[in-house]
Amino acid sequence: MACPFNHTAVELNPAVLPLEWLLGTWECDEPGEGCFPTIKPFRYTETLHFSHVGQPVINFMFNAFHAESKKPLHRECGFIRMQPATNRVAFIIAQNSGLVEIEEGELTAQQLTLQSRSLARISFAKKPHVQQICRVFQLRPDGKLEQTVSMATDSQPLTQHLQITYRRS
């Protein structure tokens, strides 16, 4: 019996056609670099999956691992929507830390620039709490995808947390 969730043959909805370049699986090229003024710098690997089922939405899953022990660490999943007839983009995101967020921003050429618009967390989320997130995805001329994430917390102003480059797998 055909898998009801296998929609690989379904055409991409025109509403998200400008994001077609994201679709598929991306593996990190070399370990990404994590930092923040309050933590020890670290290295991590990450796989990104972007897919669709024909709806005006892109589905995504990001799974990060410790670069040496390979243990699962940060995980995020969600949906991407575009405002019709504009370059406005919204990411609807759930993180395994107990944070949920909406990021909005713009698509210009093959770069997505996003800012958190709304953040909520479980009542017993670990401190410090994140207050703001800025994220950029950029498809480089060499075909590699780069992601940078900055955040502000209760105790720190907006500062870079993550920088990583992926290749299509």
Q: How many residues bind ligand HEM (CB under 6 A)?
A: 17
Q: Which is nearer to ligand HEM, 12 or 102 (CB)?
A: 102
Residue 37 burial by CB count (10 A; 0-12/13-18/19+): exposed, middle or buried?
A: exposed
Residue 56, CB-side half-sphere exposure with 13 Å CA sphere: 9
Residue 38 engages ligand HEM in binding (rule: CB under 6 A): yes
Q: 74-91: string of b/e by CB count within 10 Å (b at 16+)?
A: eebebebbbeeeeeebbb
Q: Which is nearer to ligand HEM, 12 or 119 (CB)?
A: 119
The Cα-based distances of 83 to 19, 40, 102 in angstroms read 12, 39, 14
Residue 79 engages ligand HEM in binding (rule: CB under 6 A): no
Q: Which of residues 15-34 bind ligand HEM (CB under 6 A)?
A: 34
In angstroms, give the least distance from the CB of 11 to ligand HEM.
31
Residue 149 engages ligand HEM in binding (rule: CB under 6 A): yes
Q: Which is nearer to ligand HEM, 20 or 30 (CB)?
A: 30
Residue 48 engages ligand HEM in binding (rule: CB under 6 A): no
Q: What angle do CA 46, 48, 53 make, to 5 degrees?
A: 160
Q: Which is nearer to ligand HEM, 48 or 82 (CB)?
A: 48
Q: Is 61 left (phi over 0), alpha (psi -120 to 50) or beta?
A: beta
Q: Which is nearer to ligand HEM, 18 or 66 (CB)?
A: 66
| Contact footprint for ligand HEM (CB under 6 A) | 34, 36, 38-39, 42, 44, 64, 73-74, 128, 130, 133, 149, 151, 153, 161-162
